[in-house]
Structure 1
């Protein structure tokens, strides 16, 4: 371990007789200090083999540090001379590193760190680098973008930096990369002499193959921060890391490796073989990762599009459950975004989220609230504890939510077909916000929000005239040549809602040119396609029940944009007619063959878009007969299926005869 004698970096030997730390340095400009250092250090190191490097401060007594170790303190005015090397070595031997790092990490400000360092006589270079890192860390925590001028001009800080700038070749690898990592935490400028010196020395050792795994990872991340992911040296770093045995990597370096590759996401294909090895090895270290590291790995997997790494995602998910209370808001948001991306869900994760959200109901960050809600919405998770807590937070802290976050919350309620207990207060608050700030909502965001309200029968009657106005439609169009299919479908369904469920609405209607013919489209559909296997099974039972295929039609597009899974036509007396007959049709039966995807996850609760479809079909005069998957799954034979369909179709209340 190298030792840096900072005492030599401060001033001429005669100046050390001045009582008080760094008094001589305060009287000289930094350039003068550098000149003296060069003159004093040059001959000393050129005439003999390199010796251990040390940081040395001059002060009357090492009061705080040595008193903790029980050392006797010298008289206050007794000078200490640089040639007393035996004394220096004794000081180093008596240093307790645990006490040093504990005191260093407890320092809450840069000034406190420097004040503590000023009480020490000598410092090994690793400790000096750690002190430099702590100075930068606490400045960053205070929200600083760069080191304050008071710190940069502090004599102790200047003295601490001198050996790192002028003699980086004397530093150990650990001290070198720690100092570099520290200075990249804050904006000190890539042209800084100190930074330039550290980077040059790191690159020199890199080309010699002298950096170990941790040094390579720190250098890679530092260069990304300073020069961007296009840095040419980065390829060499990744190449050298590929040649290392992953089993020798500590968990923190595996996480750093993910961050480096994430920064070079455009080259992910080139590194896919290496990524596969990392993904496989990472399975063995998941249990050792901190919440922050888990969040960073998941984020990297998303950016690098590692969809083939699902075993790793699933294992990370198991440990996420344990760490839910310990994630920061930002980390939790990244974790949930990754699970949304990979399509991962877990009932234990849902339970943990319910407990976490409920316990922090009114203190959660709006971004986290909207992400948790989006996660439930995307995965069709009807979690009443989460949705109720979200609704309560929304009512109490509405002013903190942005238009997009408000839309995401309401979309979740609409998609999951759920009204919270405080629904009246929630929609009253929402309406007030829209009346006062409606122009702050982007057109598509506003349309999605109001359409979601209609799914759960909270019809936006007061805003329909605005939605159907030419001005809004022009804003919705923007710079595009035509409106997207989803927006047109939402507008059309809102028009149908105004006619069927809000007959008292007398405002403008949507022009025919903006209306779609079908809500069922390959993408962005307002209907869920029928489950094919379930459909085939029910079809076979219908043929046996009705006697022939001609007595029912399948996948029928109605004049009202909805597609019916199976339609049966009845005459005035309730007898079944062939589907080709269009005369004497008195009643139409719509069979909704509802597979699992039409319900909330693991529940019998219809999604909002399926609920509004069945509601509208009834208002249009159809007799809606629901055939849910969970009833079909209980049937064990074809005979049971036929009997089940006959009960559904020919019950006393069905009005169907055969």
Structure 2
């Protein structure tokens, strides 16, 4: 009897409230002995529905009905509040519900711009944290991640008890989170991982995503994982490469920007990803906003990825939006394009015009970077006089504020553009400037020492009014480019072999000659008036530091310098030399050389040794004829 009574009571409890109300009006004898009377109210579910299923079905409704207000209405109410005091004032009403307390904290973090410490130390805020901590196991997963992000945004102390408690709870729930929530968590926790516990949480998160990477089904999660966890796990980054190629067509320009920036931040030059993203950026008809263009250009420049079609699209779409760029974005954009050797004449002209119009808003460093970019591309604006007068006016009084490295870059750029004046040369060649780079063997210092040698050459060869000072020979010798040795390119190797065939005498040709002008010559030889080679060891070499010969060249003899121009010597998709190589050619000619140029695109068309030797002989005749016609 007791078992039957418990069974019937459980069925009544599992029934809908309407059924219970109707059944309570029926005598127990009728319930036990006779058929049930049809209730006038509709039943929401049959009597045989299990208790657990009915409770689970009604659980969200029960959770949303707290304090007589639905969850949707509650969220709408707090989201309409834009003052911290308002949110803290309503907090006691919801201090018994952990999820609502967490929602209030999230809204407080959104509206708090200043005085974060006062908010964190407020007693009412502490009560909200205490409520969340007591009911932390009941906090919804998505809200728990949002709560963690809010506490980081409020700059809570990493040793705070409540923060550590929430991080521990997140760590315990990692296996229960969906892959989308894991991606969101990675975006939240990785930038703020400072303590050992936080770093351990990041490692556990990376391992979880490594095991479940095939579950990634949307672009947002994919972007979050690559951007945040790529620097933690190289294995995960390699696995995500397949996912990126799978979803590349679906990425928005902003998502493509984020992934490319993530690759640049980790210095991971994944050509399949870069090519796929670039292809779809070109094929998509949507316009790129200036911020996306600037970031993409920076990432491509850092990864040394030059895809002409996407660069052309970026430059064309940026051109009409030049007024939307800030001075910093203007400087950074042209610097990225120049690093990629991408020359777009209308864009460069527009940037030069914007520099003239915004000269007062450009800082000396930004203006120096702009001029350096123009020098890399060997570009002179059409309004050259106006641009140069603006540069002199803005920078003449600001040279002392520039760092030695930036000052050297600026003066070297002016030398390339042939806009340098004796005042700029004197400033760059002062002992207190070049002494900063003496004895430093780092790549940056070596590069600036080389530029100083080239500035010194410009002062000697191209500025007759310059009175000094000049670099000491000790620094010039260290600044000369190192000998190529075993690092010869295929073009240089083939050129050397053909020159040995054309000039069979060993003393007739020197290879890899380091000059005092900061440039290296692939080969050097001397021909007399009858175009017969002469032994170099007999003649003085004023362009090298330690020459062996002492004789002067006979009348009619000519000194030749052979320069091979590689693919990297030219601007992208053009036959125009970049600034540094154009400066080298000018210096060699000013030093008395006849420059025999061998560009890669002409050399590649020559197949046999006979064709290559005939090409060199023909080039010699052309150079001599050009010199005689001057």
SS in 1 for 2:324: coil
For 1:47-86, what aligned pairs fall within 5 Å after superposition? 51-52=59-60, 53-54=62-63
1:350 aligns with 2:311: yes
**Larger-gyration structure (1/2):** 2
User: How many angstroms does 1:344 deviate by?
Assistant: 0.8
Distance 1:380 1:302 in 2: 18
**8 A contact 1:166–1:197 mirrored in 2:** no
Cα root mean square deviation, aligned:
4.6
Structure 2 unmatched runs, 5+: 1-54, 540-550
Distance 2:564 2:513 in 1: 13
**Could you list the per-position Cα deviations for residues 307-351 of structure 1 after superposition, in whole angstroms to 9, with x for gaps in the alignment?**
4x331232233345559954563x554433332232211112211
Is 1:599 the equivalent of 2:570? yes
Q: CA 1:493 to 1:134, structure 2 compared with 1: closer, same or farther past 3 Å? A: same
| Residue 571 (structure 1) aligned to one of 513, 528, 552 | 528
User: What is the deviation of 1:605?
Assistant: 0.7
Deviations 1:535-572 (A, max 9, x none): 44445655666676765443334565543323331335
Native 8 Å contact 2:245 2:273 kept in 1:
yes
The 5 A counterparts of 1:336-347 are: 336-347=297-308
Secondary structure of the equivalent of 2:348? helix
Structure 2 equivalent of residue 625 of structure 1: 596
Q: Partner residue of 2:21?
A: none
| CA deviation profile, 1:108-157 (whole Å, cap 9, x unmatched) | 94689979x99xx9xx99999778656644x37xx55749969989x9x9
Which ranges in structure 1 are unaligned for 5 or more consecutive residues?
1-47, 59-81, 83-87
Where does 1:8-407 land on structure 2 (aligned, <5 Å)? Answer: 51-52=59-60, 53-54=62-63, 109=82, 133=106, 136-137=109-110, 139=111, 143-144=113-114, 146=116, 164=132, 166-187=134-155, 198-199=166-167, 201-206=169-174, 209-224=175-190, 228=194, 230=196, 231=198, 232-262=200-230, 265=231, 268=232, 271-307=233-269, 309-321=270-282, 322=284, 325-327=287-289, 329=291, 332-407=293-368
Q: Is the 8 A contact 1:374 1:408 kept in 2?
A: yes
Post-superposition Cα deviations, 1:609-628, rounded to whole Å, max 9, x if no partner, equal: 22222212222222223232
CA gap 1:204/1:247 in 2 versus in 1, 3 angstroms? closer
- Structure 1 residues 482, 347: CA separation in 2 closer, same or farther (over 3 Å shift)? closer
* 1:160–1:640 CA distance, 2 compared to 1 (3 A): same
After TM superposition, give the deviation of residue 530 of structure 1 in Å.
Answer: 9.9
Distance in 2, matches of 1:226 and 1:371, equals 27
Give the alignment's TM-score, normalised by structure 2.
0.73
Q: Choose 599-608 or 540-549, whichever is displaced more.
A: 540-549
CA contact (8 A) 1:598 1:607 kept: yes
Q: Which residue of 2 aligns with 1:409?
A: 370
Aligned residues of 1:518 and 1:562 also touching (Cα < 8 A): no
Describe the SS at the equivalent of 2:419: coil
| 2:475 paired residue number | 514
More helix by share: 2
Deviation at residue 639 of structure 1 after TM alignment: 4.7
What TM-score, normalized by structure 1, do the two folds share? 0.70
Partner of 1:568: helix, strand, or coil? strand
d(CA) in 2 for partners of 1:547, 1:479: 41
Indicate which of 429, 445, 455 corresponds to 2:406: 445
* CA distance in structure 1 between the aligned counterparts of 2:474 and 2:330, rounded to whole angstroms: 38
Q: Distance in 1 between matches of 2:436 and 2:427?
A: 11
- Give the conservation status (yes or no) of the 8 Å contact 1:126–1:174: no
Aligned-pair CA distance for 1:472: 3.4
SS of the equivalent of 1:283 reads helix
**3-state secondary structure, aligned to 2:450:** helix
